[in-house]
Every structure is written in C-alpha cells, then in structure tokens.
Amino acid sequence: MDIKGGGATSMCVACKGSRLLCGKDRCPVLAKYHAYSKSKDLTISDSIAGSSPPSVFVGRYGYPKVFIGPLVPPVTGDTSLMDLPEEWPGLTIEDIVSMRMQLVRGMHRTEVTNVENGGRLVDDTRELALGSLSASMEAEFVRRPTGRLTFDTEVQPFGPSAPLRSMNLGNIRIDQRVDRAYSDTDLKAVDAVKDLYANNILVSRIQKAFSVGAFGVGKRRRFVPTRWSITAVDDILGKNLLERTRHAPLINEFEVYETEELDNRWQILMMPCSWRYELIEAWYPRSVWNPYGEGIVLFSDFEFYKPRRTYAKIGGCYYSARLAVNENLTARNRQAGVVIFREAHPGYIMPVGVWNVRENVRKAVKNPPSKFDTLSQALDHISTKMAIPMERWIKTSGILKDMLYQRRLEDFLDPRKKAFEPTLEEEHGHKGRES
C-alpha cells in the first residue's frame, strides 16, 4: 500500500464504508451521498404498484435477523435494465442514479434460517428473486418510504425504504435452469452456482438467487446479505475458472488491455508466466473514497499461484476483477500473470457497486490487446495511458516487484526466459507473501 495524504484518507480507501474503521456509527462519506439524495423528489405514498425488474435486497444489519424484501419502481412494463448491471457499461453515474433511485425497497425482518417457513412475504420475495423477466406487483408499507438513496461500495444504489405490510406478486416467469437448482435440495450451493454459470445464467441473477437461500442442501439453506452474496458468487466462479487457467498453456507475449468508464481508467496487464494476480487501485482527491485527501492513495492486494485464503483488504472488487480476467483466459485456454491498474479520478463521485469493476474489466479484455516482447515495453506503454508514474505503481505492487527484481533459476539458464512455471514456494501457497 502506498499512501500519500495519510490519516482519514487512507482509512476511507481501506474501509470503503463497510467496516467503520473511523469508529463512527455511520460512514460520513456515504452520509454525504444520502444527504444529496434527499434533495431529489422521491416522495411516494404508503403503497406502490409497478413492475419489479425483478429485484430483491437482503440486508446485513442485525444478522442473523435481517431485513429482506422486494425492490419495485412506480413504473410498469419492462424495467429489467434497472437491475441488470451487465448492460450498464456506457451509462453515466447520473443515468445509473436516476434509474436506481426509482426502486423502492420493502423491508420484512426475518431470521436467516427462515427460508422455507417464513410466511408469504418470504415466499414471494424468494420467488421474485428467481424470476427472469419483469414482474408486476403491488406493495403496501407500514409507513411512507423515506426519501433517500442507499449507497454501498459493493451493491448498486437503490431508493427509499419502508417496512412492508403486504405484497401481491403477479405472474412471474422463472427460468427452468434456476428452478431446477432451487428444487434440488441435495445439490450444494457451490455446485448450483457453478452449474448455472456453465448454463449461461447471468452472474447478477445467480447472485440474487443465492442471496434468498435458493441453493444448498435442505435445511442448511440460509438468506445471505446481498453484499455478501455478490462477493461469494464472484469468488466461487473465479476459483472454479482458475482450476483450468492454472494448468493451461502460457500466453506468448505481454498483453495490455484498456478501457475508461465513469472517470475510471483501466489497464490490464497479462504476462507470459504462471498464474499470479493483483489489483491496484489509485484514488484521486475528491473521488468517492478519497473525498478529503490532498494526495493520491494507492492500495493493492495480490495472490500467487494458488488463490488467496484471507479476504482481500481491497474488498469485493478484487474477486469481481479476478472472475473477469479468468473468463478471458479460460475462453482462450491460456494461463497468464495478471496485474490490473485502476485510476479513480475525481469524476467518480459516488459508489455504484462492484459490478463496475467486473463489467469494465470484462469490457476491456474483449478488445484486441496491445502486445509487447518484454515487461519493460508493456510498462512503458501503460505509463503513456495512466497519469501516475510507473515507479509509484511498482512501489505499491507485490507482483511487479517480484517480476522485476526476483531472480529465478531460469534467469541463469537462459536470460531470455521469465518464470514460465510456478516455483516450489508458489506451489505451496507463498506463505507470508499475501498482501
């Protein structure tokens, strides 16, 4: 980690509103956006009729008693885009906020174990989460939903909330592949996630079904807070793809992919060596997680040949990006070392969820890469695309320092070769080297 500005600035980047490292009972950065959203016209009555995308939300506060319920806008028709982040690249932050603020959250408190015996509200919420098309519904609230947006570093924003009195769900279409996974009470949740992904179910829809306890063995099924389900599914799928990636032939050259979205600049470096992976984020002053800092804050996490065993301090975006690059490598039946460079500039003013990382890395690696013979040439190219000097990226990085400065047996046998196979240390998990 490379920090300039220090203090609260570095703490915000490390926390991203999820762990309350500052000691406050509410994240002051997210509170700023909540205050902003109150200026918007979100006033509705104590009942609503509309078409859910379909969408649900499972909270985490008070766990193991959590609030679950639908997200529904006062709009009828095809609202699927409102909860389909796979289709959001190219939208502005204003587009996303304007769309998501229409989604009103109904809240019903239940034990996470009450998946099958929680009553009609629970049953309808689960059925909605399994849906594949917009579903008409009516909801009545205990009181009028409060007029503010909810922001989270992992989850896409949504609109006002209120306790749910009742909901009436119209006809809903459930994908038969998802329904089979739900009906199979002997199928483990991890296997259900893998099977659905292999059958081309969108990641965002798998995450929704996972959150409402639709997968797993019998009575072991649980509601999973939405933010946890997003990271869990990204992690499960990324590790599963990695089982193929790590044994595939190496790429032949150094490849650099790039994209720019929401005032985020992305450079993805793939190297012809055994699997290793790092995500480095640089947060500029006045960007969402560095609102008060005077300098740029860099933060990174990495792993070598085997997946890391500890949770990445950089958060859920680590697993979203790892999934995206492994999709590219497995589709090509290739293996590579990967370093992702991300610059979040001041125009990135609001957290919109880790979908932003997954979908933009996916977008980048679909484009033809720039190719180079050496690591030095690849880094020189990246330097022309990013504002931060390469020396500072290298100082922050665990993978780049290892590639540039760690001598290997291959270097003595043939100076042109560069770590094409995992070392003994990598095979045994690189103890003590995880960031």
The pTM (predicted TM-score) of the whole model is 0.86
Closest CA to 188 of 171, 160, 210: 210
**Rounded to an integer, what distance in angstroms lies between the CA atom of residue 126 and that of residue 68?**
9
**Rounded to an integer, what distance in angstroms lies between the CA atom of residue 284 and that of residue 339?**
20
Residue labelled with tokens 């033809």: 368
- Which two three-digit tokens encode residue 13? 């980047």
**Rounded to an integer, what distance in angstroms lies between the CA atom of residue 435 and that of residue 63?**
29
Closest CA to 146 of 110, 109, 101: 101
**For the chain, how long is the longest CA-to-CA vector?**
75
Q: What is the DSSP string of 395-431?
A: HH-SHHHHHHH---HHHHH-TT----S--HHHHTT-T
How confident is the prediction along the chain (435 residues), in pLDDT tens digits per residue? 554 444 445 566 556 555 555 544 445 455 445 444 443 555 568 999 999 999 999 999 999 999 999 999 999 999 999 999 999 999 998 899 889 989 999 999 999 999 988 899 999 999 999 999 999 999 999 999 976 677 777 888 888 899 999 999 999 999 999 999 999 999 999 999 999 999 999 999 999 999 999 999 998 999 999 999 999 999 999 999 999 999 999 999 999 999 999 999 999 999 999 999 999 999 999 888 788 788 999 999 999 998 899 999 999 999 999 999 999 999 999 999 999 999 999 989 888 999 999 999 999 999 999 999 999 999 999 999 999 999 999 999 999 999 999 866 555 555 444 444 444 344 434 433 333
What are the backbone angles phi and psi of residue 169, rounded to the nearest 5°? Answer: -100, 130
**Rounded to an integer, what distance in angstroms lies between the CA atom of residue 193 and that of residue 234?**
10
Rounded (10°) angle between helices 203-211 and 176-183: 30
What are the backbone angles phi and psi of residue 298, rounded to the nearest 5°? Answer: -110, 140
